Structure 1
Amino acid sequence: MNRNRMNPPSAFPMLVAFSILAPFASLSAEDLTARALTEKEKQRENMEFRAAICAHHLSSGLWVVGRDHQRTPEEVIAQDLAPFTSFGWQPDFQYQVDDIRKVVTVTAPDAPPRSARYTGDQGSTILPRGESDVFFSPVEVPRNLPDPSTVDWPMGDVGASFPVPPGVDSEAVAAALDWAMAQEKQNTRGLVVAYDGKIIGERYAAGWTKDTPQLSWSQGKSITATLIAILIQRGLLELDQPAPIQEWQGDARREIRIRDLLQMSSGLKFANLGFKGEKLTVENEHMRVYFDSLNVFEHAITPPAEVPPGTRNAYRNCDPLSVGKIIRDTVEAQGEDYLTFPQRALFDKIGARSPVLETDPWGNFILSGYDYLSARDWVRFGQLYLQDGVWQGERILPEGWTDFVATPAPSDKKENYGGMFYLNRPPRMAKVPKDTYWSAGFMGQVTMIIPSRKLVVVRMGPSPGNVYPYLNETIGRVLNAIPN
């Protein structure tokens, strides 16, 4: 069955035309025509990319998030697209949902339609213009885990919150989380606090559950770091070796180490223009992986060196995606299946059943930002780091790895970025201990790890503004309710 939705037209195209032409009123008619055509083409490209990212979000909202609870297209648009200017949704966009082929198509005015296809365990992929399918064979990703209702926490859900660890003021924790959920403008959909290995507080917005896979954005960078750590633990790679990327061996990029990539210090020339609807253009190399149908690994490794590695800290998707290519090349060189590797090597180990890691049309994980996990599975991830990379007696991450990711990158003069994790040095949150580090994603997705207080805090949901004052107050209240 096809579900077709068409929204009423608006004056948007007329306003765009006026805003384009007004700055060039003093030009000659010939110059004005040439410049207007160029600007019109840019506007057309921008609208096409807006349609593409909206098709992705609508597809994943229906069939990835919808694995846990059914959603309608109208709900996804109202909750995940229309309120946020970053994604560029406009009232006059039209969309079609093909429930049989699991394809969503969005059309912007005066622009080609763009589609995204849900492929199952690889989530949703934006298709190249004119293409009807991806260029790889999607695979099922078995969760080699029993029913969580039959297994003790943390490998399952039995006893996740009982018994309560000694010294916890449960009423004060509940009050802290109630306060946090009452801050409606933050749009928090999941909030979980684990102390000393037990969940001591948990809240979800209506319609969201402990099992709902939620878009986690750049928290995926911390997963990337964890996957390459597993390969280092296996003895297949070394943190300080030059990045084994063949295309870099003939020029200055051969000096880039895996360490540099993890610390966002590669020195590659790669533009980041920010995540705004009007910035969805080919010039925005950093964000382009989210709205264009690129081979993201080729895109990441193509830029030239701009400054020597290790001398500049710059938040750029080329670095984690280059690490992603190294992961794929290393895994496949061992004869392992790349698409199931994260579940087998990491998520099965820690009892995580919800993860959906999305790919480009060539089957490369876009693990710089297109990753969906439940709040409880992010707690499990945080616990792995809280426990120094050891899980139920098995060392999964190399000894010293948690120290590496929680240490400021030498090139970061602000000292607030480590190895694909953020740091509270100097304190971004005054009420939170300085040893705190966290995986962070766009619009306030965080998994906070606080070793000195044996605490993991997960917050999920698309916050429209700066989430850190809110987190500072929330976590501060929780800290007052647990032993020092």
Structure 2
Amino acid sequence: MRTHHPSRILSVLATVLLCFACGSGEEGQAAVSDASDAAHVRGHIAGMAAHHICSGVFVVGRDYERSAEEVVAQDIRRFDIFKWQDDFAYAVNFETRTASVSGEDFGTRSAEYNGDQGCTVLPAGLEDVTFEPQVVERLSPDPAVTAWPTGDVDAYHDPPPAEVDMATLDAALDWTMAQSEHNTRALMVVYAGKVLGERYAPGFTRNTPQISWSQGKSIASTLVGAAIQAGHLDAGLDDPAPVPKWQGDGDPRRKIRIRDILNMSSGLDFVNLGWRDSLSWTHTDEHRRIYFEGIDVFEHAVNQPMDRAPGEIYRYRNSDPLTANRIVRQAVEARGENWLTYPQRILFDRIGARNYVLETDAWGNFIISGYDYGSAWDWGRFGLLHLWDGVWPTPDGGSDRILPEGWVEFVSTPAPGAELLNYGGLFWLNRGGALPRAPEDAFWAAGFMGQYTVIIPSHDLVIVRLGPSPGDINAYLSDIVGEVTAAIDR
């Protein structure tokens, strides 16, 4: 275990060859017309790298100490998609709790750690965030003396249910971890309400917060449902989205409903080019700018025109979950409540999730469509909430309806514009057979590079898988689900 002096500044030159052409043909070529464009692209690459170093050290590292060298080697440099470059210099300052990446042509891009708000990519011209960071108290009962699922006591099946072939299950879990190219760091199986099996890579535990990427979109949906159920958001799925900028006379965005936003079918013209397009690291890719540019993500999301009618077509766009979260923030602050602590109070405390970190931009907006961290047991509890139709068993033997009745049915029903039947209310679905070895009723929160919380009502099952995979992750997930379900004789 390393010991860092608070004032220590770690600065190491990284040496790895840049792969600009990660795709094939013209699509994989860097679109730079001059040195200025190239510098912007490199600066954007450095901005995301600074974030990953900051969060890898200060967020993931709160469970076990990680050095910047480890984070760069394990989380960035090994993956061509992040385009780490051989002349980047990086540093971590433990006194100011910042990480920076520098290059001669673009200067320095930095990310700042703000405690329970995680790490924020600082925009050019700002040396600090513009909001007052808040301590997010975890107010769930002590897990060491509180029964599962809110606490940790009696969390495991003992003995396992008779219908479970534990030898087959253990073989499935061991096989999952043995696929080294997929870098699985946490694997958890919850069956019939309790933990049936789990595996963790060295250095990671059931409570280690790991980057969960777009699993956060499902958190955004859940926060909308919880706010509606609590009466904090005075709106329903079919009400117009209460976004002030959309309410002008003749503005077609007035017709966008909350349902359309959660179905990723708002119709907003929000460009998503994919990670391997020639313009992925430029201003043109509106979907990805939120990860590397240090912009106000909520304003970026709602200040977009429409190019399709609401509900007409499902398109995977960060604009919609960010808008959903903006709507909740607006309602919460109108009540005089603190936004930065709200997700913990309204959702996470109530299900015993103690390790979530929702990171923000410099204006205190959660970048909930990608920069969110949660542990395996956090996500297991999140999955159980949806398996149990939004009702949570309380430690006193009662129950707590956190999500409105019918909410889970909504999020697990295909959006009208999802022709492949693969997307619902900010959750992915198996109605169209996206995972051939999974039951048809499976639905899941999914994040970049293979972050998954799979809910399978027909099997009373939740499967959590975390870790950065560069491979064919859907085939891998399908096999994981197939191997696990094969161990349970229904």
Same fold (TM > 0.5): yes
* 2: CA distance, partners of 1:313 / 1:109: 42
Structure 1's unaligned 5+ residue stretches are 24-34
* 1: CA distance, partners of 2:241 / 2:439: 34
* 2: CA distance, partners of 1:194 / 1:400: 23
1:319 is matched with 320
2:273 is matched with 273
Find 1:157's aligned residue among 123, 147, 152. 152
* 1: CA distance, partners of 2:104 / 2:306: 39
Q: What amino acid is aligned across from residue 287 of structure 2 in structure 1?
A: H
C-alpha deviation, 1:276, in angstroms: 4.1
* 2: CA distance, partners of 1:14 / 1:323: 34
Q: What amino acid is aligned across from residue 216 of structure 2 in structure 1?
A: G
Larger displacement relative to structure 2 (470-479 or 207-216)? 470-479
* 1: CA distance, partners of 2:20 / 2:235: 56
The yes-or-no answer on 1:455 pairing with 2:461 is: yes
* 1: CA distance, partners of 2:176 / 2:441: 23
Find 1:99's aligned residue among 85, 94, 106. 94
C-alpha deviation, 1:460, in angstroms: 0.4
The yes-or-no answer on 1:61 pairing with 2:59 is: no
Q: Residue 97 of structure 1 aligns to a residue in which SS? A: strand
Find 1:180's aligned residue among 173, 176, 182. 176
2:223 is matched with 227
The structure richer in helix per residue is 1
C-alpha deviation, 1:42, in angstroms: 1.3
Q: What amino acid is aligned across from residue 479 of structure 1 in structure 2?
A: T
C-alpha deviation, 1:432, in angstroms: 1.0
Find 2:204's aligned residue among 185, 193, 208. 208
C-alpha deviation, 1:414, in angstroms: 1.0
Larger displacement relative to structure 2 (92-101 or 135-144)? 92-101
* 2: CA distance, partners of 1:149 / 1:172: 31
Larger displacement relative to structure 2 (234-243 or 203-212)? 234-243
The number of residue pairs the alignment matches comes to 467
1:336 is matched with 337
The yes-or-no answer on 1:45 pairing with 2:40 is: yes
* 2: CA distance, partners of 1:63 / 1:272: 30
Instruction: Give the RMSD, CA atoms, in angstroms.
Output: 2.1
* 2: CA distance, partners of 1:14 / 1:190: 31
Q: What amino acid is aligned across from residue 195 of structure 1 in structure 2?
A: Y
C-alpha deviation, 1:8, in angstroms: 6.4
The yes-or-no answer on 1:122 pairing with 2:123 is: no
2:236 is matched with 238
Distance 1:344 1:12, change over 3 A: closer
1:410 is matched with 416
* 2: CA distance, partners of 1:367 / 1:12: 29
Larger displacement relative to structure 2 (109-118 or 455-464)? 109-118
Distance 1:168 1:51, change over 3 A: same
Distance 1:249 1:98, change over 3 A: same
Q: Residue 43 of structure 2 aligns to a residue in which SS? A: helix
* 1: CA distance, partners of 2:235 / 2:20: 56
Distance 1:11 1:443, change over 3 A: closer
C-alpha deviation, 1:9, in angstroms: 7.1
Task: Give CA deviations for 1:443-470 in whole Å, capped at 9, x if unaligned.
Answer: 0000000000000000000010221211
- TM-score when scaled to structure 1? 0.93
C-alpha deviation, 1:277, in angstroms: 8.8
1:430 is matched with 436
Contact 1:232 1:239 in 2 (8 A): no
Distance 1:417 1:11, change over 3 A: closer
Distance 1:363 1:475, change over 3 A: same
Larger displacement relative to structure 2 (355-364 or 148-157)? 148-157
Task: Give CA deviations for 1:15-41 in whole Å, capped at 9, x if unaligned.
Answer: 9xxxx9xx9xxxxxxxxxxx98x4221
Q: Residue 193 of structure 1 aligns to a residue in which SS? A: strand
Larger displacement relative to structure 2 (205-214 or 169-178)? 169-178
Contact 1:136 1:363 in 2 (8 A): yes
C-alpha deviation, 1:2, in angstroms: 3.6
Find 2:186's aligned residue among 175, 190, 195. 190
* 2: CA distance, partners of 1:128 / 1:101: 17
Q: What amino acid is aligned across from residue 238 of structure 1 in structure 2?
A: G
Q: Residue 138 of structure 2 aligns to a residue in which SS? A: coil
2:302 is matched with 301
Larger displacement relative to structure 2 (102-111 or 445-454)? 102-111
Q: Residue 344 of structure 2 aligns to a residue in which SS? A: helix
1:32 is matched with none
Q: Residue 409 of structure 2 aligns to a residue in which SS? A: helix
* 2: CA distance, partners of 1:4 / 1:219: 32
* 2: CA distance, partners of 1:88 / 1:394: 46
C-alpha deviation, 1:95, in angstroms: 1.1
Q: Residue 458 of structure 1 aligns to a residue in which SS? A: strand
Task: Give CA deviations for 1:106-154 in whole Å, capped at 9, x if unaligned.
Answer: 1134112010000000000011113211000000000002332222211
Q: What amino acid is aligned across from residue 263 of structure 1 in structure 2?
A: N
Contact 2:140 2:350 in 1 (8 A): no
Contact 1:87 1:276 in 2 (8 A): no
2:363 is matched with 362
Task: Give CA deviations for 1:340-398 in whole Å, capped at 9, x if unaligned.
Answer: 00000000000000000000000000101110000111000000000000001111101
* 1: CA distance, partners of 2:472 / 2:302: 31
Find 2:143's aligned residue among 102, 123, 148. 148
* 1: CA distance, partners of 2:304 / 2:208: 37
Larger Rg: 1
The yes-or-no answer on 1:261 pairing with 2:261 is: yes
Q: What amino acid is aligned across from residue 98 of structure 2 in structure 1?
A: V
Contact 1:6 1:93 in 2 (8 A): no
